[in-house]
Amino acid sequence: MTTPLTRRDLLAASGSLAASALLPAIAAAAPAKAAAATGATLSLAPMLLKLRHTWTIARGSSDEKKNGLLTLASGGITGYGETAANKRYGQSWESGEAAFAKVKSACEGLSPWEHLAWLERAEEAAGGDSQVVAALDMALWDWKGKAVGQPVWKLLGVPTGRMAQTTFSIGIDTAEVMKEKVKEAAPYPLLKVKVGLPTDEENVTAIRSVTKKPIRVDANEGWASPEEALKKIAWLKTMGVEFVEQPLPAAKNAEMKAVKGAAVLPLVADESVLHAKDVPALVGLFDGVNAKLAKCGGITRAYELAALGRALGFKLMLGCMIESSLGIAAAVAVAPLYDWLDLDGNLLVANDPWKGLTLSDGRWELPGAPGLGVVPA
């Protein structure tokens, strides 16, 4: 007996089909050598990013980030992608290396033009290391864009003139240091403030004392109960905050209905949503969903998530990990599909090894160069 397809199942399938439709047979526009490519060489190397400031959120602190540079070469063309491990999801550089080895074996012999086959095999092989799938997807798009001489966003059919301003993130610190960080963020029109500790009110008050800019807040699962979350949210509204990300731990999603019902600010899911398949269950619990390429599995899956989230009535936010301009460029390619942007990971890095992106009045410009539009610095 066939199980009936629910409306949510249909929407999920529609999102996948929408993204699949963006993967046409464009090989005919490529040089003969690239058009005839039948396999690819893959490699993964560490990429150590030094941070401008110690980065502190509700879960911990760091001064550097060990990301990875995934290289895909075929037909005389090389595409690049970036892994960005997040320990919240059980990932590390080491787990990424192990997942990459499995993905490399699983995808052996595939042509770079067989994009969805790469993703399906990679997702099965990588397990929870979506960062590796994301880097592979970035590299495939970068390769194809270079092969046909077009930027990735054009291949995706992404509209121009719809790029939202990005927030600039202020990590948790002492109130005085956070005030100094706000002053350093003078070029950026929107701020995102990390909260989730007992010092929340002191820190936000300090920030408000030195800026009138719009503020968005990310609790990173830092509040323990609906009561605590609602009290904090009510106070944050008095401080001119626009919305709040992930008030409660993802494990407490069942309690979010009560929070959403009484909250005086919009609520955005972050840790509660990794992949497009997670989105339907969040209806009635959040007002928006925050996608990140490293979480969902890359550019293709971020397109799917946007299609599904929009169909279900969510506001859409696109965020990032601590990443170089390579990872941010991949997000910029789909950014116009999203309402709110938090694409500042490269701005927090002191030794960004990639260049080519332009930020103007807080808006990333869609690059004109082929592929992802960035090159080694």
The pLDDT assigned to 34 comes to 84
Q: Read out DSSP for 288-301?
A: EEEEEHHHHTSHHH
CATH number at residue 137: 3.30.390.10
| The pLDDT of residue 1 is above 50 | no
- Locate tokens 């938090």: which residue? 342
| The pLDDT of residue 252 is above 90 | yes
Instruction: Tell me the β-bridge partners of 58.
Output: none
Tell me whether residue 1 is in a domain: no
Tell me whether residue 208 is in a domain: yes
Same domain assignment for residues 198 and 126: no
Report how far residue 141's alpha carbon sits from residue 84's, in angstroms, rounded to the nearest whole number: 18
Tell me whether residue 28 is in a domain: yes
| The pLDDT of residue 26 is above 90 | no
Q: To the nearest whole number, what is the mean pLDDT of the chain?
A: 92
Buried (b) or exposed (e) across 13-44, using 16+ Cβ within 10 A?
A: eebbebbeebbeeebeebeeebbebeebebeb
Same domain assignment for residues 58 and 20: yes
* Residue after which a domain boundary falls, among 153, 175, 193: 153
| The pLDDT of residue 20 is above 90 | no
Report how far residue 43's alpha carbon sits from residue 68's, in angstroms, rounded to the nearest whole number: 10
Q: What is the DSSP letter of 28?
A: G
* pLDDT, greater one: 54 or 46: 46
Same domain assignment for residues 99 and 142: yes
| The pLDDT of residue 367 is above 70 | yes
Same domain assignment for residues 149 and 161: no
Tell me whether residue 2 is in a domain: no
Distance set, CA 331 to CA 67, 136, 163, 250, 338 (Å): 16, 14, 12, 24, 10
What residue numbers bound the domain in which 261 lies? 155-376
| The pLDDT of residue 19 is above 60 | no
The pLDDT assigned to 171 comes to 84
Same domain assignment for residues 17 and 159: no
Q: How many domains does the chain have?
A: 2
Same domain assignment for residues 17 and 141: yes
Q: What is the DSSP letter of 314?
A: -
pTM: 0.92
The pLDDT assigned to 213 comes to 96
Could you tell me which of 151, 99, 166 has the C-alpha nearest to residue 333?
151
The pLDDT assigned to 102 comes to 98
The pLDDT assigned to 10 comes to 44
Same domain assignment for residues 29 and 100: yes
Mean pLDDT of 276-285: 97
Mean pLDDT of 70-85: 97
Q: Helical H runs in 91-150?
A: 93-106, 115-126, 130-148
Asked if 117 and 106 count as a contact pair (C-beta separation under 8 A), the reply is no
Same domain assignment for residues 249 and 319: yes
Tell me whether residue 139 is in a domain: yes
Asked if 224 and 230 count as a contact pair (C-beta separation under 8 A), the reply is no
Report how far residue 44's alpha carbon sits from residue 71's, in angstroms, rounded to the nearest whole number: 6
| The pLDDT of residue 21 is above 70 | no
The pLDDT assigned to 36 comes to 82
pLDDT, tens digit, for every residue of 311-366?
Answer: 999 999 999 999 999 999 999 999 999 999 999 999 999 999 999 999 999 999 99
pLDDT, tens digit, for every residue of 182-240?
Answer: 999 999 999 999 998 888 999 999 999 999 999 999 999 999 999 999 999 999 999 99
pLDDT, tens digit, for every residue of 287-304?
Answer: 999 999 999 999 999 999
pLDDT, tens digit, for every residue of 142-189?
Answer: 999 999 999 999 999 999 999 999 999 998 888 999 999 999 999 999
**% of the chain beyond a pLDDT of 70:** 92
Report how far residue 322's alpha carbon sits from residue 303's, in angstroms, rounded to the nearest whole number: 21
* Residue after which a domain boundary falls, among 153, 171, 191: 153
Same domain assignment for residues 23 and 85: yes
Same domain assignment for residues 140 and 89: yes
Same domain assignment for residues 88 and 213: no
Report how far residue 298's alpha carbon sits from residue 303's, in angstroms, rounded to the nearest whole number: 9
* pLDDT, greater one: 259 or 33: 259
E strands present in the chain: 41-57, 60-74, 77-83, 167-170, 190-194, 215-218, 241-245, 267-269, 288-292, 315-319, 340-341, 354-355, 359-360, 363-364, 375-376
Same domain assignment for residues 57 and 33: yes
